[in-house]
Structure formats: structure tokens, C-alpha cells
Structure 1
Amino acid sequence: MTISATIDGQLVQWRDSKRYLWLMGAIIPLIPMAMWGLYALTGSTLSWYFGPFFVYVLIPTFDLLAGLDPNNPPEELIEAIEEDRYYRWVTYAFLPLQLVGLIWGAYLLGGGTLPGIEDPLTVVQKIGLATGLGMVAGIGINTAHELGHKKEHMERWFARVALAQTFYGHFYIEHNRGHHVRVATPEDPASSRLGETLWEFLPRTVSGSFKSAWGLEKKRLNRLGKGPVTLKNDLFNAWSFSVVLWGGLMIAFGWEILPYLVIQAVLGIFLLESVNYLEHYGMKRQRLESGRYERVSPAHSWNSNNIGTNVLLYHLQRHSDHHANPTRRYQALRDFKEAPVLPTGYAGMMVLTWIPQVWRKVMDKKVLDHYDGDVSLANVHPRTAHKYGASLEGAAA
């Protein structure tokens, strides 16, 4: 399908080469069903661990095989492209499939059987199923990210639904009102620092994001003359979706599924925060004479044009344009030539983060090259500042 418009007497046309590839995002919630099919065919317990294999092996392989797509939609057609409702239905389709997959998984976790599964799953198999549900949950948070930035009330409501599976509803508040304000600064818990490992970043970002969300809501409610403990608190509203969802599942399939719900939630959060770790590693906005930070620019986010991860994560890898235009819909996000670029897609880079020595060997040089060797311009972890010759004064607090 070609989108066209006449601008100043000239016909401008654009065709989205990825238009129908975006539907691949709906494959993700089907991971639990795929595990069932593989188990029915092979009888192997390894089939129940297909979820991590799909995310950490198949998607990076797809990135390498499919290559890059650096093409941008014409600026003149951005509005027309955003108004194409096909793209909205692509994201909407994820939600019912996510919920169906979770309910189906909870049924098996509760001891249910299906054709090809004559006996209830063993503990090892249930843990595997929970890992698959966790992969869906983590990518579901990305769907919530796309929907939560939009102005339409229905889409923001859908974002809370997508977040319910992980009990991470406060992400909706912290990301929109916290991260987008403080991005690429030492004060942002979701911006990783040069020399900081993923394993150091995780507790800092999880606790910091919660504290930030609570503080943001407390300030908002104070302006309304209310205390934080109220039903008007959006954190409580967001978490209520999870209470209803988890409570309903345990009523339907038994309390014994609770440990597996926790496992899948933890893995979903791990997947989200691993992506956060990638997106702004070492990037730092500089302070102006006024004491304020400079405006966010394309230079403050790591990007990638790898097709595989982009179609599965709704162009999340065109992260610079997302921060420049938070409400812009995924199909209209552009690539900036001046933005720093990762060696491969987010999925492949996540694997590198597991081994800090490998991650730093690849990425630290890229950060320093980005700043022309001036480490004082980077967001440096205090623990490693001396290794780069940076003063603690210039490092993150």
C-alpha cells in the first residue's frame, strides 16, 4: 500500500516495505502454544524452554539474515502515515493474544492436560513454561510502552492491561513522566552508566523506577491537596489490574500457580530492564550555564536498524526519534544519521550484557569514540571512573 499526498503541487509517495512484517509481533504471544506443539511432536522437556531460545537465539539470527532498513518516511507524509489505523490494530492484536496465552499457560501450570500432554507438567516443565510466559510478558511491556505514550484514553488503558501480567504498572508513570524528563542524566534510574554492569544496573533501575513513580504521584496528588494513599493514586490503579488478573487466575487454576506467575513476572521485568540498559549506556546530556541539562538529541540514545528486532518491538530501536517525539507512532519513527548505532539489534546485544567483560570490550570503546575520547562527557559509573581517567566529580553520583 502506497501513502501519497500532494504538497505544494508535487506528489509525494511512500511505501512501507515492512507494512505486513509488523504482523509478526503477534507471533510473540503464541510462544506458549508453540511450546505445546513442540512437546506434542517431540516429547522433549526442552520444548518448554523454547521461549528464551526464540528471543535470544532466533531473533538475533533473524536480525543477521534480514539485514538493515535505514529508510525513513518522508516528513511531509508523517501525519498521513500516523493516521493509517492498520498500524494501531497491529498493536491492539497483541493484547488479546497475550491474555489468552497467559490463561492457557495458567491452566497447564494448574495441572491441566491437553492433546499431546496426557499427564500434568512436572516442576521442571512448569518452570520452562513460566520462562516462555515471561518472554511474552517482557515484550508485552514494550507493547504497553508504545500504547502508553498515545493521547487516546483507550490506548493508555490498553497499556495498563499489557502491564498487568508483570505487576509492573508503575512503569507507565515513571517512563512517561520520569525517564523522558531525566533521560541520559545521572539522576535517571533507567539510564545505564559507562562501566556499570547489567547486574549492577538491575537493582538500581528497579528500585529507582519504583521510587521515582511514587514520588511523581505524590507530587501530583499534593498539588490536588491529597495524600499519596488514595484511590486517585495512579500506581494503585495500575496495580489493581494485576491484582484482578493474578487473583482471577489463582481462583480459576489454584494457588499453586503463584510461584510460576512470579517467575514469569521477574523474567518479563528482566527483559524490559535489559533493553533499558542498552538504550542509553554511557550517554550523558551536558549541563548548561543555567544549571539545566541540554535538550535531548539523537546523540543520547543507541539505535539500530536491524529489521528483525524492529518489527517485533515496533521500531523501539529508532529510539532517538522516540525521545524527540514521544507521541509519534512506531511506523513513522525515523533513523537519524548522527545517532550512535549498536553493532546489532537489541536482541543480540542483550546476550552480550550477560558477560560484563564482553559487553565492555564491545561497547566502552564505542561510547568513548562517540565522545571523541573525552570521557568527561560520558555518564560514568563512580566505581569505574578511575579506569577511564575520569574524575569522581564528573562521574555519576
Structure 2
Amino acid sequence: MNSRLSSLLSLIFPITSLLFLNSESHSAPEALLWTMPFWLVLAADWLSPSMKPLSVKNSPEGFFNGLLYGLAFLQFINLAMMIRFIGELTWLTTQDIMTSVINLLVVRFLVGTSSCCSGIIVAHELIHRGRPLQRWLGRLLLMSVCYDHFAVAHKRGHHSHIGTPHDITTAQRDESFKAYWRRVAKEHFLYAWRCEKRRLDKKSRGFLLNTVSNKVLQGLLVELAVVGFIYAEFGLLCAVMFLYQAYSAVRMLEAVNYFQHWGLIEEETHHAIAWVSDSWFSNLLLLGLPCHICHHQNATVQFQDLVYYEQGPKMPYGYFVTNLWVRLSNTSFRQNAALQLESYTRRGD
């Protein structure tokens, strides 16, 4: 399949969310039916053909930049449509309440998933770009899920300390996802704040200029302003659902971070820096994210030019299946991952 055409698969979740939200409240069975694309994606990821190691590519930027901007546009449109949709739900009768609650659950499911795919993953691509406007768009996308500090923590922390005990994002072998989630939710913010403080202290421009120039504070203030505006203009329920979709998207992201580097400490795993996933389907829907080793070797390589490398322990499934596995049956995941890692380490002896 043509790489440009196949890359349009990344539009599945934002387009599904847009179509769901671009109408009035759905009946309960109809609303639940709108989750079908997710389950089809899960099945496709389970059965996905494997990627093969590739040589370095040099694709034209125009189409793929347009795809990124289109996904970013859909992210902001979907959030606006979500607020409108929620504001039009009715709560007069018992039947109305039941139908509206089911619609809210589907909204959270669809928009949360879309916000991870068309929000955070697009942001991850853009914050590594060289052009200031692209990096700012990446930050705005992160603000749409109340996670702007991730840009600082990821670039200055994760990329600098990958594969070492100092990397917040690397999950320890005995660390459950629940414990990992509690840890990184706090430590990513604190690390980003300390990084910004050190950067600004070196400039010695005074308290006021340092405060205004603090990227973490900028993001936090914008996020609070957005939530406050939604609450003031559209009510508590819309503000809560905005935060809920952000929570859902960020939790999905951190599940990816969890399994991408689970247990990989340099001196113990022969310098493996990421788990390998050869899912062709995951790679297309997630803008090259499974080519994570290549990304860490050179973070400036654009997603369409990332190549698949095999030097690392291999996941048995693609990113969508593994994400669900990590969150729903974490003990089973850790048992399997420990066996895979032990086998990989023995092969390296």
C-alpha cells in the first residue's frame, strides 16, 4: 500500500470522534455501537503483519506535515464539539439520565483515545521539530490535555537519561503500572519545574522575567485558564469532562511509556533502550511511534522517515493490544515481560 495513503489510517479515531459528536444525543445502543472502530483497530493490531528492518528514508515533507496539521486541527475541533455535545444532553427523566450517562461514557472513550492519538502523539512529533511555530503547536496540543510540562520532562529528562536509573520514564522490573502511574504523574511535573528553574537561574534576568519565561508555569496558567473558561461559560459537567478526556489521554500515553522501556536499565540489558514492536498497523496509526529505537538514536528524524530496528526485547503484540494488556492485566504483562527480558538477556551473554 502507498505509504502516503496508508498513513491516513491515523485519522481513524479523530474522524470517528468528530462524526459521533456532530449530532444530537444517541440512543444507548447506537452510542455503544460507535465504539466499534476501537475494537476493530484492536483486532487489526492483534493480527497485524510484521514490519521488516528498513533502510533510511528521505520522504517529501509536504504531505506528512499536512497530515500532522490536519490531526492537530481535528483535536481542537473535537474538544469544541465535545463541549457543545455535552451541553445539549438532557437530564429530565430517568430514561434521559441513563441515555446521557452512556453518551458521556462513550464521549470519554472516543475523545480520550483520540486526544492521545491526534493530540499527544502529534505533539510528541512536533516538540522535536526545529521550527518554533511547530514546537508551539506541539505545546498547544499538550495543553489541550493539561500536560504541557511533558515537553520539558520528555526532551530534557527522558532523552538525556534513557536506559539509566535516572530516567523517570523507565519502569523498574518489579513496578506495576499503578505504581508507575502514581510516580510519573508527580515526578514529570517536578522534574520539568526543576529543569526550568535551572535554565532560568543561569540567565540571571531577575525574578519577574524568569517567572514570565518559565515554560512550565506558562503551560499551567493556560491550562487553568482553559478549564476556568469552560466552567464559567459551559458549566461544571463540561469542565469535568474536559479534564476526564485529558486524564484518559495522558494515562494511555503513560501506559505506552511504561511498556516501551519496562525494566531496561543499560548495564543489565546489554544497552537495549526500548522494547521492539513490529506491528505494521500500530506504526501507521501512531505515526511511527513503535520505531522508538530509531527515534532515540536521532530525535530530529521525522515520523515518516523513522525506520524499524530489531535490537531489543520483542513485545508479542502491537501497541494497542499491549496498552490494554498493561492496564487491565498488569500482573500477566509483567510475568510475560520478565520472561521475554530474561530470554533476551541470555541471548546477549
TM-score bucket (shorter structure): 0.7 to 0.9
Tell me by how many angstroms 1:318 deviates.
0.7
Separation of aligned partners in 2, 1:48 and 1:108: 16
Separation of aligned partners in 2, 1:49 and 1:359: 29
Q: Work out whether 1:44 is the aligned partner of 2:22.
A: no
Does structure 2 conserve the Cα–Cα contact (< 8 Å) formed by 1:179 and 1:190?
yes
Does structure 1 conserve the Cα–Cα contact (< 8 Å) formed by 2:276 and 2:312?
yes
Task: Tell me which of 171, 181, 198 is aligned to 2:160.
Answer: 181
Corresponding residue for residue 346 of structure 2: 372
Corresponding residue for residue 348 of structure 1: 321
Corresponding residue for residue 17 of structure 2: 32
Separation of aligned partners in 2, 1:21 and 1:250: 39
- Tell me the secondary structure at the aligned position of residue 212 of structure 2: coil
Separation of aligned partners in 1, 2:77 and 2:155: 28
Q: Work out whether 1:233 is the aligned partner of 2:211.
A: no
Tell me by how many angstroms 1:112 deviates.
5.4
Task: Tell me which of 310, 320, 332 is aligned to 2:305.
Answer: 332
Does structure 2 conserve the Cα–Cα contact (< 8 Å) formed by 1:70 and 1:335?
yes
Map Cα deviations across residues 41-92 of structure 1 (whole Å, 9 max, x no partner): x7225725845x644x3323112334122252x33xx4x42x4321111111
- Aligned pairs for 1:4-43 (under 5 A) are 17-36=2-21, 43=27
Corresponding residue for residue 5 of structure 1: none
Does structure 2 conserve the Cα–Cα contact (< 8 Å) formed by 1:35 and 1:48?
no
Mark the runs of 5 or more structure 1 residues left unpaired by the alignment: 1-15, 114-118, 288-293, 378-397
Corresponding residue for residue 116 of structure 1: none
Separation of aligned partners in 1, 2:2 and 2:48: 13
Corresponding residue for residue 132 of structure 1: 110
Does structure 2 conserve the Cα–Cα contact (< 8 Å) formed by 1:164 and 1:238?
yes
Q: Work out whether 1:259 is the aligned partner of 2:237.
A: no
Separation of aligned partners in 1, 2:159 and 2:169: 10
Q: Which runs of 4+ in 1 moved over 6 A?
A: 37-40
Separation of aligned partners in 1, 2:7 and 2:225: 31
Mark the runs of 5 or more structure 2 residues left unpaired by the alignment: 91-95
Separation of aligned partners in 2, 1:89 and 1:240: 29
- Aligned pairs for 1:135-174 (under 5 A) are 135-139=113-117, 140-174=119-153
Tell me by how many angstroms 1:251 deviates.
4.3
Task: Tell me which of 322, 328, 336 is aligned to 1:362.
Answer: 336
Tell me by how many angstroms 1:134 deviates.
1.4
Task: Tell me which of 210, 220, 228 is aligned to 2:189.
Answer: 210
Map Cα deviations across residues 224-254 of structure 1 (whole Å, 9 max, x no partner): 1145971100012223443444344344423
TM-score w.r.t. length of structure 2: 0.88
Corresponding residue for residue 193 of structure 1: 172
- Tell me the secondary structure at the aligned position of residue 52 of structure 2: coil
- Tell me the secondary structure at the aligned position of residue 371 of structure 1: helix
Q: Which has the higher contact order (CA 8 A, sep 6+)?
A: 2
- Tell me the secondary structure at the aligned position of residue 122 of structure 1: helix
Tell me by how many angstroms 1:38 deviates.
10
Tell me by how many angstroms 1:36 deviates.
4.9
Q: Work out whether 1:102 is the aligned partner of 2:76.
A: no
TM-score w.r.t. length of structure 1: 0.78
Does structure 2 conserve the Cα–Cα contact (< 8 Å) formed by 1:144 and 1:159?
yes
Separation of aligned partners in 2, 1:267 and 1:48: 18
Separation of aligned partners in 2, 1:26 and 1:246: 26
Tell me by how many angstroms 1:27 deviates.
2.4
Q: Rg larger in 1 or in 2?
A: 1
Separation of aligned partners in 2, 1:258 and 1:251: 9
Does structure 2 conserve the Cα–Cα contact (< 8 Å) formed by 1:198 and 1:356?
yes
Identify, as 1 or 2, the structure richer in helix: 2
Tell me by how many angstroms 1:338 deviates.
2.0
